[in-house]
Amino acid sequence: MQTLKTALLASAVMVASTAVASTDIIATDAYRWHGDTITQASYTAFSPDGTSLISTYSAQPGFFMPIDKEWHLSRDISMYPQLSTPNRLHTAIYNLGLEEMINAVEPDTTLRTGKEWAGVWTRDVSYSILLSMSYMQPLASEISLRHKVTSTGRIIQDTGSGGAWPVSSDRLIWAVAAFEVYKVTGDNDWLKYIYPIILNSIEDDLKVTHITSTGLVRGETSFIDWREQSHPRWMQTVDIYKSEALGTSIVHVQAMRTLVEIASILGHKDVVAKYTALADALSQAINDQLWMADKGYYAMYKYGREFSILNPRSEALGESLAILYGIASADRARSITENVPVTPFGVGIFFPQIADMPPYHNNALWPWVGAYWAIANAAVGNEQGTLEAIGAVFRPAALFTTNKENFVLDNGDIATELNSSNMLWCLAGNLAITHRILFGITFNTNSLSFNPFVPQTLAAERTLTGFKYRNATLDITVKGYGDRIASFTLNGKEAKPEIPASIKGHNTIVITMSNEPIAPMAVHHSPNVKAPLTPIATLTHSPELAGDGVPVNNLLKWQPIEYIARYVVLRDGEPIDTTRCTSYAATVPGSYQVVGLSDAGVPSFASEPLDNFPTVAFEFAGEVTTPTSAEISYQPATPVAGYHGKGFVETDHSIGDITLDITVDTDGTYSLSTIYANGNGPVNTENKCVIRTLNIDGNSVGKLVMPHRGVANWDDWGSSNPVVVNLTAGTHRVVISFNPEDENMNLHTSHALLDRLIVKKLR
């Protein structure tokens, strides 16, 4: 019976496909959306009636996650905005989003992250709220956001490498989402509730993540929180804290601008002035530090230790947010949509890919990020870019009959490291494409505005009935295509395309588009490129023969990498030589790295920084001499080993300042870091990262961040981030203290063992 049913379905697909073959809406080298059907190679998905999807797709053989070949609407979706459009596939994908949204609302009225991901996660729910849940599920959005606040009134950073915040530092997207809920509801009590939470969280971040010489924000790229998936293997979690990412920096700008808006409403003029200036300065730093004029888009992040360099990859969410949050000028916004590489399956999470890493964030497309990319392209007016971005979201929804978490960028399949059906932010992106692009709906502080963007191949008459806005219900019709409104009527009368928050009752809106061609813009179509492998280098400190046979005391060497055209040697973050050799005489004191370039000029990650700076290690006063488990305030599961000198000191909530004196021989710029152990959690998650304030001669000079390095790994000693300071010759009093803003997300455990203080003279 099942075989007969499958055969009948396949026959129906063929008939449907043939009937609409001449009506391409989107066509790439990977797939076509023609009429009510999406075709990818031999696979087809279509909707016969707008309430079901039928697919012939088969996943990669042996993949653990089965694929449903059919979806049929089984939930009552009548209380939500109903879409009427002549395209049955679009209707079905929209209705699928509504049904899966209902599935995502838990009995406690929180929003479940995904079928395979229970609970509320800060960034997932926040981006989902910003896309569409704020107005589709306002109560669940509010309750979910309340779940992500600490007992001290701070936003929770619930996931991230090495102990969450501040290694991951994008929690402030909560602030932007919370204000979006206010725009939808107009609830002043909600506004008063979120204001101190946002203010307190930003104040802490200013002291812990904004302390960089570049003016950017420290921490992991927003949502890309699986260390190896987006960084070179040599980077420790502390190196990720030290990095400065595009997406996370933009989140902080928008959070501060959100705070300004709320403070303005509530009458806090001092906050308005302070945070307007800080937001503007951070926005300028992003443009000064991360814009790559030769590529026409922003770099993904800066990375390194004492000296930082650009990771010149594009990063789709960050590039989209730069457009939507006004970081990019109009010219730069257009340039981004025309120059970011787009593969046949859509825009990657970043580009190019990491060759020796499986798909998840790497070599992948996530539909919710694709939705942001679509909205950004529409905002700029890039018709082809918008079409292909919509297709990159609708293709998998149709073929997999669910809103999946992510896809392999090489082939569009679901065989990634982790995946889930009914994914909250992906279904939210699905719905947002219809509402925010094709109907052009935007929530403002005191109004609802409309600016539809309808590509010509999507020309139609579409209606949303029962769209709720505060005390009103709206039936909205958009006719035709284009990027300009020819006529806007409210209840039969011509009006401006904006309605006030005070509107009540049942209202009918009809928007007639100009039906004029949209000015063409380019899309940078590209195959899915893999960057070269990262060189692994060593720096010898004993005489060794260089390439010319001359003994060198400091010889930088690296293994040859296949398909590398040439290598670039960096010193202190700047290129100093290009070579085909695999060694370099590093006779000048500095921090050295190597980058490999392919024949096409695609760069690898830089190798781990190796330096030959003059270095002195200082032992902490009061180190224990016979460290046993009885003498350690936190009882380790494994013995403490591998420390130097007499032992180590502890830092914890109950332990006071750690003080020592250091002496330097000459005036200069120095780097200070601690060698520490933190076995309170795994490398990839949990929330017990240790943060301490470094004071020199009574002045705070920076933060020492010590992420956990593995559960019970008390014999694994690593380095904190370096703090760069100017010192005069002589003796200086160093104090490591615990300040209120140094509290981590755990609130109970903030504990590490400190072995030595490392002091390097940089210049």
User: What is the secondary structure of 283-333 as a DSSP string?
Assistant: HHHHHHHHEETTTTEE-SEEEESSSEEEE--EEHHHHHHHHHTT-S-HHHH
pLDDT at 615: 93
Averaged pLDDT, 589-607: 97
- The four Cα atoms 523, 526, 528, 532 give a dihedral, to 10 degrees, of -120
Integer Cα distance of 328 and 173 in angstroms: 19
Query: Confidence band (pLDDT; 50, 70, 90) for 624?
Result: low
Residue linked to tokens 């209202």: 507
| H or E stretch at 38 | strand 37-40
pLDDT at 545: 45
User: Are 542 and 600 part of one and the same domain?
Assistant: yes
List the CATH number of the domain containing 224.
1.50.10.10
Q: Per the structure block, which two tokens stand in for 252?
A: 């902080």
DSSP 256: H
What's the full length of the chain, in residues?
A: 763
User: Are 600 and 627 part of one and the same domain?
Assistant: no
Alpha helices in 73-133 (DSSP H): 88-104, 122-128
Q: Is there a contact between 528 and 346 (Cβ–Cβ < 8 Å)? A: no
User: Are 203 and 280 part of one and the same domain?
Assistant: yes
Q: How many CB atoms lie within 10 A of CB 564?
A: 18
pLDDT at 9 over 80: no
pLDDT at 108: 97
Instruction: Calculate the alpha carbon distances from 748 to 268, 398, 528, 654, 743 in Å.
Output: 33, 46, 45, 11, 9
pLDDT tens digits along 14-61: 444 444 445 899 999 999 999 999 999 999 999 999 999 999 998 766
Instruction: Collect all residues with Cβ–Cβ distance below 8 Å to 467 and sequence separation of at least 6.
Output: 81, 441, 473, 474, 475, 476
- The four Cα atoms 611, 617, 623, 626 give a dihedral, to 10 degrees, of 70
Averaged pLDDT, 305-314: 98
pLDDT tens digits along 698-733: 999 999 999 999 998 999 999 999 999 999 999 999
pLDDT at 126: 98
Averaged pLDDT, 154-181: 96
Instruction: Calculate the alpha carbon distances from 615 to 307, 542, 635, 760, 762 in Å.
Output: 16, 16, 33, 4, 9
Query: Confidence band (pLDDT; 50, 70, 90) for 626?
Result: very low
Assess if residue 490 is contained within a domain. no
pLDDT at 430 over 90: yes
Instruction: Collect all residues with Cβ–Cβ distance below 8 Å to 760 and sequence separation of at least 6.
Output: 306, 611, 613, 614, 615, 670, 671, 722
Q: Per the structure block, which two tokens stand in for 352?
A: 């190019």
User: Are 598 and 640 part of one and the same domain?
Assistant: no
Strands 447-450, 498-500: parallel, antiparallel or unpaired by DSSP?
A: antiparallel
Alpha helices in 162-268 (DSSP H): 173-185, 188-208, 227-230, 237-242, 246-266
Integer Cα distance of 297 and 342 in angstroms: 13
Number of domains forming the structure of the chain: 3
List the CATH number of the domain containing 629.
2.60.120.260
Assess if residue 258 is contained within a domain. yes
**221 DSSP β-pair partners:** none
User: Are 241 and 171 part of one and the same domain?
Assistant: yes
Three-class HEC string of 697-756 = CCEEEEEEEECCCCCCCCCCCEECCCEEEEECCEEEEEEEECCHHHCCCCCCCCCEEEEE
Instruction: Collect all residues with Cβ–Cβ distance below 8 Å to 392 and sequence separation of at least 6.
Output: 345, 346, 347, 365, 367, 370, 373, 374
User: Are 596 and 647 part of one and the same domain?
Assistant: no
User: Are 551 and 660 part of one and the same domain?
Assistant: no
Q: Per the structure block, which two tokens stand in for 125?
A: 């729910």
Integer Cα distance of 132 and 183 in angstroms: 12
pLDDT at 621: 72
- Which residue among 315, 337, 360 closes a domain? 315
Integer Cα distance of 154 and 150 in angstroms: 5
Question: C-alpha angle with apex 180: 473 to 129, nearest 5 degrees?
Answer: 90
- Which residue among 315, 330, 347 closes a domain? 315
List the CATH number of the domain containing 586.
2.60.40
Assess if residue 3 is contained within a domain. no
Name the region of 714 (left: φ>0; alpha: ψ -120 to 50; beta: rest): alpha
Integer Cα distance of 324 and 486 in angstroms: 24
Q: Per the structure block, which two tokens stand in for 599?
A: 């024949």
Nearest Cα to 755, choosing from 644, 666, 681?
A: 644
pLDDT tens digits along 73-98: 999 999 999 999 999 999 999 999 99
User: Are 154 and 291 part of one and the same domain?
Assistant: yes
Averaged pLDDT, 398-404: 97
Q: Is there a contact between 726 and 639 (Cβ–Cβ < 8 Å)? A: no
Strands 341-342, 524-525: parallel, antiparallel or unpaired by DSSP?
A: parallel
Q: Is there a contact between 761 and 618 (Cβ–Cβ < 8 Å)? A: no
DSSP 167: T
pLDDT tens digits along 168-212: 999 999 999 999 999 999 999 999 999 999 999 999 999 999 988
Assess if residue 285 is contained within a domain. yes
pLDDT tens digits along 510-563: 999 999 999 999 999 999 999 999 999 999 876 554 444 445 578 999 999 988
Instruction: Calculate the alpha carbon distances from 654 to 28, 583, 640, 651 in Å.
Output: 61, 50, 20, 8
Question: C-alpha angle with apex 656: 653 to 658, nearest 5 degrees?
Answer: 120
Peptide bond into 166 cis (omega under 30): yes
Assess if residue 513 is contained within a domain. no
Q: Is there a contact between 155 and 148 (Cβ–Cβ < 8 Å)? A: yes
pLDDT at 2 over 80: no
DSSP 631: G
User: Are 666 and 745 part of one and the same domain?
Assistant: yes
Q: Is there a contact between 186 and 179 (Cβ–Cβ < 8 Å)? A: no
Backbone angles phi, psi at 570, to 5 degrees: -115, 140
**578 DSSP β-pair partners:** 568
Q: How many CB atoms lie within 10 A of CB 692?
A: 25
What is residue 91's three-state secondary structure? helix
pLDDT at 543: 54
Assess if residue 695 is contained within a domain. yes
Q: Is there a contact between 435 and 423 (Cβ–Cβ < 8 Å)? A: no
Nearest Cα to 176, choosing from 123, 244, 109?
A: 123
Integer Cα distance of 448 and 171 in angstroms: 27
pLDDT at 404: 97
**Arithmetic mean of pLDDT over the chain:** 93
Instruction: Collect all residues with Cβ–Cβ distance below 8 Å to 271 and sequence separation of at least 6.
Output: 199, 259, 260, 263
Assess if residue 320 is contained within a domain. no
Regarding pTM above 0.85, the answer is yes
Cα 465 to the center of its chain, rounded Å = 34
Nearest Cα to 338, choosing from 300, 296, 304, 305?
A: 296
User: Are 598 and 633 part of one and the same domain?
Assistant: no
Reported as half-sphere exposure (CB side, CA atoms, 13 A), residue 588 has a value of 10
Domain span at residue 621 reads 615-761
Nearest Cα to 126, choosing from 193, 195, 173, 184?
A: 173
User: Are 571 and 636 part of one and the same domain?
Assistant: no
Integer Cα distance of 105 and 427 in angstroms: 12
Q: Is there a contact between 345 and 392 (Cβ–Cβ < 8 Å)? A: yes
Q: Per the structure block, which two tokens stand in for 693?
A: 């304030």
Q: Is there a contact between 705 and 721 (Cβ–Cβ < 8 Å)? A: yes
Higher pLDDT, 544 or 6: 544
Residue linked to tokens 């929690």: 171
- Which residue among 315, 338, 367 closes a domain? 315
* pLDDT cut 90: percent of the chain above it: 87
Q: Per the structure block, which two tokens stand in for 298?
A: 């922003």
Averaged pLDDT, 611-621: 91
pLDDT at 631 over 50: no
Strands 472-480, 505-513: parallel, antiparallel or unpaired by DSSP?
A: parallel
* pLDDT cut 70: percent of the chain above it: 93
User: Are 236 and 177 part of one and the same domain?
Assistant: yes
pLDDT at 659: 94
Assess if residue 235 is contained within a domain. yes
